[in-house]
């Protein structure tokens, strides 16, 4: 069975976006962009891959699932298929069908993730965000890859927006970068 990995950037105080969903306050740190391009190239949007010298090989994921709020900035920029190098699902009850055949809009993320995890593949499924979707999918998340930026937001979208649901994960790796950012990997216990 393949894994569902929540690969996400957060502030020191645990937020993945501003209260209005904006992520523009996160610094563009060369060392973290380098980490992503080298170790998780599939997390670089298709339209930016050449700029960041990404060779196109997916190392960890062949599928991405994201909430509407995570998908919205791409749509606002006129990009209907932000991760054309992956199979793409957007969870929304209000978006309707996608205008791009490469993006499937779904309404039942738990059922879809369970179906995806049961597929025969050596690559996993990337949960790109947001907090409500991560909260809904918490029972299925196998791994966390957390890019923590040296920023405090004060308020915003939490990493998990769900009811009180303690879930244990084991730290498997942590690396600090000169910018002050860290990348931590956790596996469900």
Ranking 38-42, 55-59, 134-138, 140-144 by mean pLDDT, the lowest is 55-59
pLDDT given for residue 97 in this prediction: 86
**DSSP for 143-155?**
EEEEEE-S---SS
The pLDDT tens digits for 49-103 are 999 889 768 999 999 999 999 999 999 999 999 999 999 999 999 988 888 999 9
Q: Model confidence at 181, in pLDDT bands (50, 70, 90)?
A: very high
pLDDT given for residue 57 in this prediction: 83
For residues 46 and 11, is the Cβ–Cβ distance under 8 A?
Answer: no
pLDDT given for residue 56 in this prediction: 67
Percentage of residues of the chain with pLDDT beyond 90: 94
Q: Model confidence at 137, in pLDDT bands (50, 70, 90)?
A: very high
Nearest to 6 by CA among 132, 105, 104, 143: 143
Q: What is the mean pLDDT of the chain?
A: 96
pLDDT given for residue 53 in this prediction: 87
């Amino acid at each position: 069975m393949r894994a569902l990995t929540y690969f996400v950037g957060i502030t020191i105080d645990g937020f993945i976006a501003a209260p209005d969903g904006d992520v523009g306050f996160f610094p563009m740190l060369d060392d973290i962009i380098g980490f992503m391009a080298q170790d998780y190239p599939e997390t670089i949007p298709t339209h930016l891959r050449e700029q960041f010298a990404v060779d196109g090989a997916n190392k960890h994921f062949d599928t991405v699932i994201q909430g509407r709020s995570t998908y919205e900035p791409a749509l606002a920029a006129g990009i209907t298929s932000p991760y054309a190098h992956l199979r793409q699902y957007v969870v929304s009850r209000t978006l309707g069908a996608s205008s791009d055949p490469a993006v499937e809009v779904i309404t039942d993320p738990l059922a879809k993730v369970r179906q995806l995890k049961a597929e025969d593949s050596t690559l996993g499924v990337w949960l790109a965000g947001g907090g409500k979707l991560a909260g809904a999918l918490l029972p299925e998340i196998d791994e966390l890859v957390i890019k923590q930026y040296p920023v405090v937001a004060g308020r915003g979208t939490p990493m998990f927006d769900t009811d009180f649901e303690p879930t244990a994960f084991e730290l498997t790796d942590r690396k600090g970068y000169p910018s002050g950012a860290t990348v931590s990997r956790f596996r469900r216990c």
